[in-house]
Structure 1
Amino acid sequence: MPSDSTLPAVAAFSSLGGQRVWSLMVSLFGDLAQGEGDAIDGPVLSTIMGALDVRPEASRVALHRLRNDGWLQSHKVGRISQHSLTAQGRAESAAASPRIYAAPPDLLEPWQMVMTEENGRETDAALRAAGFIPALPRAYVGPVGKAPEGCLALRGETPPDWLRRAVEPAELESEYDALLVALTTTENELARVRHMDAVDVAVLRCLIVHNWRRLALKHPALPGGVIRPNWSGYQCHLLVDQMLRRYPQPALQDLAATSAAG
């Protein structure tokens, strides 16, 4: 069962979708053990997954899958198994980290709109790869910088509300709304928690990072200058940043000590 201090967080996030065990592990290792040589002891992993209300057999299946996928590796140190990211796992985690842990954008950040001559797939793919977001037919919004070749670049001013909404990922609106409720509920509940040990913090961070990651990585980052201040995705970003800074990553040795003491 989850400990008393992490129970509010586990309960708040339990109703959200995308809580697959292997994916939770991806978030956990990416957050706690991304460095070369970092490893999580088997007993520590079992303690954390138990606090996340994950059954031991489900954890074993997830570990098996991630090893088969070349994402995790395990080896014995005495009688204890240690689990760590492979080179592939570290590379994929490092590639996603700038987006996951980025500070919320400045709402006064400059932006530009670029217009294209045609609406072909290659042009669309190139613009999306460069971080531009389709807003209108043949019109894309993105950060200020060198305009893609063959495009007309227009420096952005204060955008109308309809344009701000046009670049938001509408298909994720309900999920961002639900995440905002979970984050807000957790923040309010944690205000009444007097002490959190290393395992509690690891569990909390895993839930925050996992649920933020699975939404934020599904769409391009919006330039700050076109973000609605009350957009739930932006409000989530503010809370994620605030909570991750308030509860920094616990050291692996502290996790081992807390797990052993429990």
Structure 2
Amino acid sequence: MSLTAPLRAVGGGRVWSLMISLFGDLAQEEGTAIDGPVLSAMMTLLEVRPEAARVALHRLRNDGWITSEKVGRISHHSLTEKGRAESAAATPRIYAAPPGPSEGWQLVVLKAADHHSPTAMAAYGFAALAPRLYVGPANTPPPPDTMTATGEIPPAWLREQLRDESVDNAYSELAQSLESLEEALPSSDTISPLQTAVLRGLIVHNWRRLILKFPVLPPELSDPDGPARRSHLRVAALLDRLPRPAVGDLAGQSAA
């Protein structure tokens, strides 16, 4: 499936992480499982070798993310309670609509510099400004036990201080891949549910690995035409263009 090539190129080689994205997008509801043949067909479309898929699945079972149950000759894989909880915690960030041009921003002050790590704050949606100080969208709930202040018109130095060329480059690479996919994507009635599930999983995976590490800042604090916002707009448009298929619709489909 050549449509996956650009996104596979930027998504990294961690098959277990890709599986988390696939399950989180497709089978997050309790009681929803992906059958072994369906998962194998998805891995084939993603050009993941069977042995690599088995290793990834084994790791996720050992880590308590996925549970597998065999009924007859067919294995049924589903997220554990832990897996569903972790996926649900990230869902608002991953699937949030792109912010408007003036939704506002806020300053968050931590109780102590080590009260929350920069990684944890990034997962909440806030970028580091200085020890104990973080900034983020005005409508994003901050962690408990923090103090917040509504941001006003930011000075130019604040926008410049928050700019990170390496982050811009990462989002730029993703934006270009998403734009290529959008241009090459055929009409929705020619894409099978299995192909749709794979494309959605790749889009979510590439977006998740950046948004949970490098939050997209509000337009007031960043370039409103920059690569992060371009990526966000493309992700939203593509997920809307590729509605999530029901897991039951994937059974029996070929990866050909």
Q: Same fold (TM over 0.5)?
A: yes
User: How far 1:139 sits from its partner (Å)?
Assistant: 6.1
Q: What's the counterpart of residue 218 of structure 2?
A: 223
Q: In structure 2, which of residues 224, 231, 234 is the aligned counterpart of residue 236 of structure 1?
A: 231
**Contact 1:169–1:219 (Cα < 8 Å) also in 2:** no
Q: Give yes or no for the alignment of 1:57 onto 2:51.
A: yes
**Contact 2:65–2:79 (Cα < 8 Å) also in 1:** yes
Q: What's the counterpart of residue 195 of structure 1?
A: 190
User: How far 1:144 sits from its partner (Å)?
Assistant: 4.2
Number of paired residues? 252
Rounded Cα–Cα distance in structure 1 between residues aligned with 2:217 and 2:125 = 9
The C-alpha deviation readout for 1:83-112, integer Å capped at 9, x for no partner, is: 000111111110111101110111201224
Deviates more, 1:170-179 or 1:148-157: 148-157
Q: What's the counterpart of residue 26 of structure 1?
A: 20
Q: Give yes or no for the alignment of 1:39 onto 2:33.
A: yes
Q: What's the counterpart of residue 91 of structure 1?
A: 85
Rounded Cα–Cα distance in structure 2 between residues aligned with 1:41 and 1:223 = 40
**Contact 1:133–1:141 (Cα < 8 Å) also in 2:** yes
Q: Give yes or no for the alignment of 1:77 onto 2:51.
A: no
- The one-letter amino acid of 1:190's match is L
The C-alpha deviation readout for 1:224-254, integer Å capped at 9, x for no partner, is: 4323212211110000011001101110111
Percent sequence identity over aligned pairs: 52
* 1:131-170 mapped onto 2 (5 Å cutoff): 132-135=126-129, 140-144=134-138, 153=149, 155-157=151-153, 159-170=154-165
Q: Secondary structure at the match of 1:182?
A: helix
What's the TM-score once normalised by structure 1's chain length? 0.83
The C-alpha deviation readout for 1:122-175, integer Å capped at 9, x for no partner, is: 478599588653446886534448999997946412x45543343245442221
Q: In structure 2, which of residues 105, 113, 128 is the aligned counterpart of residue 121 of structure 1?
A: 113
- The one-letter amino acid of 1:61's match is V
Residues 213 and 190 (structure 1), Cα distance of their counterparts in 2 relative to 1, 3 Å cut: same
Deviates more, 1:88-97 or 1:192-201: 192-201
Rounded Cα–Cα distance in structure 2 between residues aligned with 1:59 and 1:110 = 43
Rounded Cα–Cα distance in structure 2 between residues aligned with 1:152 and 1:225 = 17
